[in-house]
Amino acid sequence: MPKTLFQKVWDAHAVRRLANGQTQLLVGTHLIHEVTSPQAFGMMRDLGLKVAMPHRTFATVDHIVPTDQVSEPYADPLADAMIKELRRSCAEFGITFFDRSTGKQGIVHIVGPEQGITQPGTTIACGDSHTSTHGAFGAIAFGIGTTQIRDVLATQTMALGKLKVRRIEVNGKLRPGVYAKDVILHIICTLGVNGGTGYAYEYAGDVFERFSMEERMTVCNMSIEGGARAGYVNPDETTFAYLKGRPYSPKGAEWDAAVARWRAVASDPGCTYDDIVRIDASDIAPTVTWGINPGQGLPITGIIPDPQRATTDDERSSIVEALAYMKLKPGAPIKGTKIDVAFLGSCTNGRLSDFQEVARFIKGRKVAPGVKAIAVPGSQGVGLICAELGIDQVFRDAGFEWRSAGCSMCLAMNPDKLVGDQLCASSSNRNFKGRQGSPTGRTILMSPIMVAAAALTGSVADAREVFGVSQN
Amino acid sequence: MPLEKITRVVGRGVYVPGNDIDTDRIIPARFMKCVTFDGLGQYLFYDVRKNADGTDKAHPLNEARHAGATILLSGSNFGCGSSREHAPQALQKYGFRAVIAEGFAEIFFGNSATLGMPCVVASREDIARIASAIDADPSLEVSIDVAGQTVSFAGQTVKVEVRESARDALVNGRWDPIGELLEGASDAAKVANGLPYMSA
Ligand code: SF4
């Protein structure tokens, strides 16, 4: 019987059925970072447990590392303690740690693929909801809680209920100036932030076939923002080409055997899905959010929604709440909204191609007066290549601060934070209240190019107009 | 590692009114910078319990008459927001053994069950009745029968709901899956050995 990739990977990793009906699932690759794992190591010590397969766990630091200070001790003593604690635990339990001193540190979802650790047909778990990113390679990748991190450390397995699979096909051609970020924002706006509950998303169709690995990662990254626990793309030549020659990729004769296995793990023609959604690529515009969840978005040419027009009471109250928080006026165009901060980075859009693409457009131009613009490579590796290519200098010349690798202003756990009710044009993935560090700080999610357009003009702008990209 | 069979939770209750009490309200994000969950109890509901200078605001948990309560009562959609386990951990470390509310956010519910802390769903009316009985006599004993799905207080008994998967896990002492997962260790090793990427 033809099977989906999800089914094949699940079957290959199912250990046994548990008393409560869940499956004990083997976790092939476990990724950890400094925020959610120290407590799990504590539980391990309390219970006197050993790490079952230390060679299958990889650690790095990302959430709380300062991006403007590279030497320890860090100014924040709690951050400093958490990083030292992770270092100690990795040494004690024999776990590979991509520490800052290795030159391989970065956001966990950027480091895994970059090192070739993220591979097709595998199961991946990490104590972070954006673990769905790794699905871009045809892996089944889940975010997990701290007690589950303990479970994975101690047994290399976890208890999990099976998911349904929804295939999302995006067919046709994207219009000029429309990027992967717009595709996923559009999907979330279409299906809703809870639309994916109980599902893994399989992304497919012309657009995904043409996408680079980095573009696929941007989309899979935000699966969780649409409520799906995991999201994946079937592996193909693009996937294999990306992985070839990476530090942890198979080598020599093993490479060919691995590629044969990876090819076979893709969903079979004629397999059945629990649901199929089809989207026309030409319907997708550069998309920005106006509210306080990633599903509250609209095309850049759109109008901020009016609660009067809401069809249900729930919808009305959520629009009212979002507009009050965002201090936006119903019925006004979103374009032209003044911004204070521009943030380019995060596990959604902190990869080499993001900085390369933006550099192409901002070369020789300047950030608008009064705008604080920061560019934060997602990993030391990305930072290094940008330096070699002179991309960092293009950003600096344009008036961006160029930082060292980390999560930075994506969340409020390091010194990069919004102040007061500052409004930030952000390439990250969450626009929740207070997400960027100030309880009243405001976030508008958009693609890196749109962040650049906002930075240069000082307001939410249509990058196609700012950079003279034909709209047809 | 035999786990306690959590069939019944008996203790004093305290009512913290409100709907959509989110994980940030339960434990503000800045207190997530911790290397163990042990000290989290003191930061429970911190921003609604404390002024900026660290003095107490008016809050049920700050009232001496509710000291030592182990059962928390609240409104609908309790524990919404992020998936972080810090929220149920903070409640448990503070001393709570169970939560009775009109409804719970999915991930919070699951995280709590794994910690052996029952999340019990009751109607708005019944919660109000229990709350007013507690208000009249804070030393009142509230008793949750997890298996029988009832709450008894002041001579009254009301029907509540404990979702089956969690109820089964709690009353059979299977709420923490670690024991069962460890039992599957040799099976897991076999599956791993059959996967080339894991043996390398
Ligand atoms: S960049 Fe943001 S979303 Fe990604 S792992 Fe870091 S904090 Fe989480």
Distance B151 CA to ligand 1 centre (A): 42
User: Average pLDDT in the A238-258 region?
Assistant: 97
Cα three-residue angle A324-A449-A169, rounded to 5 degrees: 85
Q: Residues of chain A with pLDDT > 90: what percent?
A: 90
- What local confidence, expressed as pLDDT, does residue A177 receive? 96
- Evaluate whether A5-265 and A290-466 have a shared fold: yes
* Chain A contacts in chain B segment 122-161 (CB below 8 A): none
Of A26, A39, A412, the CB nearest to B35: A39
Which ligand 1 atom is at minimum distance from the Cα of A430? 3
pLDDT(A472) > 70: no
- What local confidence, expressed as pLDDT, does residue B1 receive? 57
Give A5-265's CATH code, choosing from 2.60.40.420, 3.30.499.10, 3.40.50.1390, 3.20.20.70.
Answer: 3.30.499.10
Q: How confident is the model over A4-47, as pLDDT tens digits?
A: 999 999 999 999 999 888 899 999 999 999 998 999 999 999 99
Mean pLDDT estimate for chain A: 96
Residue A400 region by backbone torsions, left for phi larger than 0, else alpha for psi between -120 and 50, else beta: beta
Tokens of B174: 């299977």
pLDDT(A433) > 90: no
- What local confidence, expressed as pLDDT, does residue B34 receive? 84
User: Average pLDDT in the A237-241 region?
Assistant: 98
Task: Tell me the chain A residues in contact with residue B35 when contact means C-beta distances shorter than 8 Å.
Answer: 38-39, 42, 81-82, 85
Contact (CB<8Å) B181/A158:
yes
Task: Tell me the chain B residues in contact with residue A53 when contact means C-beta distances shorter than 8 Å.
Answer: 192, 198
- What local confidence, expressed as pLDDT, does residue B200 receive? 57
Lowest mean pLDDT segment, chosen from A395-399, A410-414, B155-159: A410-414
Distance B74 CA to ligand 1 centre (A): 31
- What local confidence, expressed as pLDDT, does residue A471 receive? 72
Q: How confident is the model over A81-119, as pLDDT tens digits?
A: 999 999 999 999 999 999 999 999 999 999 999 999 999
> pTM for this structure?
0.92
**What 3-state DSSP class applies to B23?**
helix
Distance A344 CA to ligand 1 centre (A): 13
Residue B68 in contact with partner chain A when CB distance is under 8 A: no
* Chain A contacts in chain B segment 10-49 (CB below 8 A): 24, 29-30, 32-37
Task: Tell me the chain B residues in contact with residue A56 when contact means C-beta distances shorter than 8 Å.
Answer: 198
Given CATH 3.40.630.30, say whether it is the number of domain A290-466.
Answer: no
- Grouped pLDDT means (10 residues each) for chain B, 200 residues: 88 93 84 87 92 92 97 92 85 97 88 94 97 97 97 97 91 92 96 90
Distance B123 CA to ligand 1 centre (A): 38
Residue B183 in contact with partner chain A when CB distance is under 8 A: no
Contact (CB<8Å) A15/B184:
yes
Lowest mean pLDDT segment, chosen from A195-199, A340-344, B61-65: A195-199
Contact (CB<8Å) B178/A26:
no
* Chain B contacts in chain A segment 190-219 (CB below 8 A): 197
Contact (CB<8Å) B34/A78:
yes
Domain boundaries, chain A: 5-265, 290-466
User: Average pLDDT in the A240-264 region?
Assistant: 97
Contacts of A83 (CB under 8 A, 6+ apart): A34, A61, A64, A65, A72, A74
Distance A133 CA to ligand 1 centre (A): 11
Contact (CB<8Å) A36/B187:
no
pLDDT(A69) > 90: no
- What local confidence, expressed as pLDDT, does residue B47 receive? 86
- What local confidence, expressed as pLDDT, does residue A122 receive? 98
Beta bridge partners of A169: A204, A278
C-alpha distance from B128 to closest chain A C-alpha (Å) = 24
Given CATH 3.20.19.10, say whether it is the number of domain B8-175.
Answer: yes
**Structural contact between residues A341 and A371, judged by C-beta atoms closer than 8 angstroms:** yes
Contacts of B44 (CB under 8 A, 6+ apart): B26, B27, B61, B90, B91, B93, B94
Distance B68 CA to ligand 1 centre (A): 38
* Chain B contacts in chain A segment 119-138 (CB below 8 A): 119, 121-122, 129
C-alpha distance from B64 to closest chain A C-alpha (Å) = 30
- Edge to edge, what strands does the sheet with B8-11 contain? B8-11, B142-145, B150-153, B156-159
C-alpha distance from B105 to closest chain A C-alpha (Å) = 12
Contact (CB<8Å) A412/B30:
yes
Tokens of A387: 């330096």
CB of residue A225 inside a 6 A radius of ligand 1: no
Which ligand 1 atom is at minimum distance from the Cα of A348? 4
ipTM for the whole complex: 0.91
Domain boundaries, chain B: 8-175
Task: Tell me the chain B residues in contact with residue A254 when contact means C-beta distances shorter than 8 Å.
Answer: 196, 200
- What local confidence, expressed as pLDDT, does residue A197 receive? 84
CB of residue A346 inside a 6 A radius of ligand 1: yes
C-alpha distance from B185 to closest chain A C-alpha (Å) = 6
